């Protein structure tokens, strides 16, 4: 299915594109095909375990060849991370299983600063029990939200925009309905109904074919006949590796773009469709910046720090490959639950302090993690254990940033500080790993150019 530009005005370039309700798949395949056609060398079976930074210079990465179990140091004049968001640190997330935030965590562990980690977006409509995204197109096409009283409850919260209010607002409305007992019961949790039936079979089949298939395949519900049971889930990471508008970090030779980075174009809340900006626009700007910075060639960085790092990763793998110790998947499940429950859509000081305590305990438990098989090749339990170390760091920075930010802004909502406070909080949080391994938060001014911050309409 071809990609179609979306623009209401024909004299303007299209700010987004779509392909029925499978835009992501179409983008992914197009990108991959173009990369193959252009002869880009792809290592689909390599997992990057660590980033090498020494004295403000990036030297490259250490990667594990999943097929052979071999560790490979990759020395580079320029290293670019496009490693995606950290959604999987939450238990309920629409993100792919690979979105553990390992790239963000390893950049942080190597000394790169992270920006605005507390800004986490929750999507209002995710399929119960699976967290699969029921795309915005469902409400865009005219879907209704109902509580267990048969009420289109958005009428009470945002009568002007109803179901088309911004994601964070609809998420909070749904969560309020659930918290106040107006949700439906399901063995896998409480839910709200997303009703498409009035759109009619023809429109649903034509405009929302992917959604219909997912509902039938995963929970045996045909949205032409029954409402879809949904709940809000983590969806997007606004925070990430601190980079400028060229996607350059303040580490020489280290760049990041896409969801793992934070240029801050999305502020505290990304609009739907704007990842195309992250990936396409900033992907190109990053490539231009790297080409400029490497103009005239330049020497490869020293190999020694990279070889030292490879030895350290060898030792880590040795430690992890000790059967019979704690299990990574148990710690990951507990981490996901604590973030869902205490650093979720609604946040309070008390709960986030509890979350920090829990994360500290899980970090301690992680020191005893071991995998069942000592084999290094095709060992996904080993990779999960490597990822978990970074997930714990990412979760720590999210929680600490959210605790310190005593206001509500964008997707970050504090029930103990319900309003936006530009006087004290129109600033970025910057998390850096401190000398004792704990995150240290500092602040950075927000750069405002043409558009001034506006008061929210809803």
**What residues make contact with ligand FAD under the rule CB under 6 A?**
23-24, 47-48, 82-84, 94-95, 98-99, 102-103, 133, 236, 258-260, 273-276, 278-279
Give the active site residue among 59, 92, 139, 409.
139
Q: To the nearest whole angstrom, how small is the minimum distance from the Cβ of residue 111 to ligand FAD?
A: 17
Q: To the nearest whole angstrom, how small is the minimum distance from the Cβ of residue 133 to ligand FAD?
A: 4
Q: Which of 86, 2, 20 is nearest to 394 (CA)?
A: 86
Between 48 and 441, CB nearer to ligand FAD: 48
d(CA 117, CA 442): 12
CB 71 within 8 A of CB 313: yes
Between 93 and 408, CB nearer to ligand FAD: 93
d(CA 367, CA 316): 11
d(CA 268, CA 291): 31
Tokens 């290592």, residue?
43
C-alpha distances in angstroms, 244 versus 56, 71, 115, 249, 395? 16, 31, 11, 7, 23
C-alpha distances in angstroms, 177 versus 133, 156, 197, 255? 20, 11, 22, 42
Q: To the nearest whole angstrom, how small is the minimum distance from the Cβ of residue 307 to ligand FAD?
A: 20
Sorted by sequence, the CB contacts under 8 Å of residue 141 that are 6+ apart come out as: 196, 199, 203, 207, 208
Between 247 and 403, CB nearer to ligand FAD: 247
Q: To the nearest whole angstrom, how small is the minimum distance from the Cβ of residue 326 to ligand FAD?
A: 22
Give the active site residue among 123, 412, 414, 428.
123
Active site (annotated) includes residue 123: yes
Burial bucket for residue 130 (CB in 10 Å: 0-12, 13-18, 19+): middle
Q: Which two tokens stand for residue 194?
A: 């997303």
d(CA 31, CA 36): 9
Task: Return the number of other C-beta atoms located less than 10 Å from residue 358's C-beta.
Answer: 19
Q: To the nearest whole angstrom, how small is the minimum distance from the Cβ of residue 325 to ligand FAD?
A: 23
d(CA 299, CA 100): 33
Q: Which two tokens stand for residue 162?
A: 């109803």
Pairing assessment for the beta strands 254-256 and 79-81 based on DSSP bridges = parallel
Between 91 and 275, CB nearer to ligand FAD: 275
d(CA 355, CA 70): 37
d(CA 162, CA 139): 10
Q: To the nearest whole angstrom, how small is the minimum distance from the Cβ of residue 82 to ligand FAD?
A: 5
Q: Which of 250, 315, 243 is nearest to 111 (CA)?
A: 250
Radius of gyration for the alpha carbons in the chain, expressed in angstroms and rounded: 22
Residue nearest to ligand FAD (CB): 258
Active site (annotated) includes residue 198: no
Q: To the nearest whole angstrom, how small is the minimum distance from the Cβ of residue 317 to ligand FAD?
A: 14
Q: To the nearest whole angstrom, how small is the minimum distance from the Cβ of residue 155 to ligand FAD?
A: 27
Question: What residues pair up with 171 in beta bridges, in sequence order?
Answer: none
d(CA 438, CA 82): 25
Q: What are the catalytic residues?
A: 123, 139
């Amino acid at each position: 299915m071809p990609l179609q530009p979306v623009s209401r005005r024909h004299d303007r370039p299209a700010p987004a594109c779509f392909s029925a309700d499978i835009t992501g798949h179409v983008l992914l395949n197009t990108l991959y095909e173009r990369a193959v056609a252009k002869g880009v060398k792809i290592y689909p079976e390599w997992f990057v375990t660590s980033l090498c930074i020494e004295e403000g210079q990036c030297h490259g990465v250490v990667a594990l060849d999943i097929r052979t179990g071999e560790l490979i140091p990759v020395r580079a004049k320029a290293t670019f991370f496009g490693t995606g968001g950290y959604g999987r640190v939450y238990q309920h997330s629409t993100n792919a299983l690979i979105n553990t935030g390992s790239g963000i965590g390893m950049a942080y562990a190597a000394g790169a600063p992270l920006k605005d980690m507390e800004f986490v977006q929750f999507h209002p409509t995710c399929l119960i029990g699976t967290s699969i995204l029921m795309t915005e197109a469902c409400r865009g096409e005219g879907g209704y939200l109902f509580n267990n009283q048969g009420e289109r409850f958005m009428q009470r919260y945002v009568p002007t925009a109803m179901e088309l209010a911004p994601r964070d607002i609809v998420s909070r409305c749904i969560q309020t309905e659930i918290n106040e007992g107006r949700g439906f019961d399901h063995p896998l949790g409480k839910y709200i109904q997303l009703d498409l039936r009035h759109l009619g079979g023809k429109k649903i089949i034509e405009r929302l074919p992917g959604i219909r298939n997912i509902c039938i395949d995963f929970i045996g519900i045909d949205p032409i006949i029954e409402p879809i049971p949904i709940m809000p889930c983590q969806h997007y990471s606004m925070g990430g590796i601190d980079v400028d508008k060229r996607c350059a970090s303040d580490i020489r030779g280290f760049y990041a773009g896409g969801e793992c980075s934070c240029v801050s174009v999305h502020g505290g809340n990304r609009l739907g469709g704007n990842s195309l900006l992250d990936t396409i626009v900033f992907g190109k700007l990053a490539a231009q910046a790297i080409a400029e910075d490497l103009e005239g060639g330049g020497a490869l960085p020293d190999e020694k720090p990279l070889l030292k790092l490879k030895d350290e990763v060898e030792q880590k793998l040795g430690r992890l490959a000790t059967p019979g110790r704690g299990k990574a998947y148990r710690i990951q499940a507990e981490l996901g639950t604590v973030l869902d429950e205490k650093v979720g859509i609604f946040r309070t000081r008390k709960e986030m302090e509890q979350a920090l305590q829990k994360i500290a305990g899980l970090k301690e438990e992680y020191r005893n993690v071991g995998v069942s098989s000592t084999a290094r090749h095709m060992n996904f339990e080993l990779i999960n254990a490597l990822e978990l170390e970074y997930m714990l760091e990412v979760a720590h920075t999210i929680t600490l940033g959210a605790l310190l930010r005593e206001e509500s802004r964008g997707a970050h909502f504090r029930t103990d500080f319900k309003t936006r406070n530009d006087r004290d909080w129109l600033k970025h949080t910057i998390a850096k790993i401190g000398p004792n391994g704990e995150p240290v938060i500092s602040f950075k001014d927000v750069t405002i150019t043409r558009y001034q911050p506006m008061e929210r309409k809803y």
